[in-house]
Structure 1
């Protein structure tokens, strides 16, 4: 019986070594070590042997079973390693760029300029504040010194909602919300989308972007305003820009100014964007009206500040030479792919 066991052992090890793939190796394993396998059946037949032969045969049979099982496991590892090496010969790195890639998207010119402005002002100690696009009458008008009976409210062409709220007509409400939230002293800008009930043309849109700016500290004057406005335009256009201040009326600042910049599309010669004047109205600005500070529970006898409302969309048009504001929201890929 031991001779028969040794013959089975030798044959099993030869077949394991000769197995050329995992499927063949599995069949060999089942043939010798499965429930009906030859070695398994020999172990089951121990009870038929004479009592004196059983210990020696049982010991040797278990040794053969372990030896064949280890051989199967070792051969399995060899076959797996060989398969991996074969795969590596034809390996394709899926992280490599394709040969027929779709073109990458472009950052909208408006976002490019907005990010430039945000980087510029944060480097000067300003925070970036946000506010809702659907506003209340209080924040959009009243808290900015524009009460219900004020004539300036008639100037605002506003999208009113059925619940009495409105689409904000400027980013100025954010300055009130920022002072309520953070208190003073404060330096902040608030870029965002605004809405006006406008007749559309090359220089007017019903949806456009502004950037509100606010600085409230002790001793702020018009000189501070002019300095920061020049820094703003220098940072965006990467060169000095000719500007002018004109007296302007805005209920939330006193004194108020209109800041114009020399038209960079026509170099002051006159074009549809500057309405043939050579100048482009960029932003209303001025010193924060004492009433606005009072609405925010700030003492105007101690603190003063300046505020401005930059027309981001018009600034982008000047920077990139865009002659029609309607292109900014048109979603025309032919336009956007130029940036």
Structure 2
């Protein structure tokens, strides 16, 4: 079972159909210098041993990145489109580049107009990322490559802060009651990213059929969903950041401004942080641009088997649950903004 963005969040637009494959003559094939096997001239890496293939005048315009889905646990390279500077690019150039990367042309145009860094693709190797970068810089777009190691989604997850206290100098956060206090000065807060995390579970119970060739019957199916407002806070000297979840937070630090509803308290908390961390950038665009992230960063999905369940004597059903969430996608989005802020800071010499 596979779920797209529209199954969890909102319609994700049209999908560009795959290009038709074509055959190549023997003299067009590229020999790998390591294993000596022949490869199609469209490949960047050897199909058999993953060695980078030689580039020649004959195949330089034929090479294409292998745009397979990279799993969350795999290390990859994110090719990021930066906000444009200067005139709008001709539609024909954007259309050709979109077709080359198997993107919808209208979607690429929307990404160019978004005004924030967005991932064009997530690929398995630095060679493929460099190829995409070269292609899109060739039509005047600003591109940067950020590796998964730099985003550190798995290696350094967000600290889930449950409580905050403020003073004139900065803020102090706790992961849980009695845990170690984490402190950040106000001038060190560089970025606040607000969004929503959606989670959905699809439970399917199938009736086992002993008869050969018979298909399993669905005995019962259930769908559970949940969503929650979140705020990620990034500081100048920490890459992972803090995460505040609206429904799982102690708002006592708001004092007299604390209301009855978590929704109202979350809004007050965000306003307070924005007011006090005056040098920090604030991004509230995730909900608007999430459909533009799906091609490079699809929703996280995994299937959990719950084994056999006895329906009645002598009859058993199999149970499985499919978990779908945009949490890794939102985390990547915030980390991407933070990395781009760090790059700008480095370029300006701050």
Structure-1-length-normalised TM-score: 0.26
The structure with the largest alpha-carbon Rg is 1
Richer in strand (by share): 2
Structure-2-length-normalised TM-score: 0.25
Richer in helix (by share): 1
Using CA pairs below 8 Å that are at least 6 residues apart, which structure has the higher relative contact order?
2
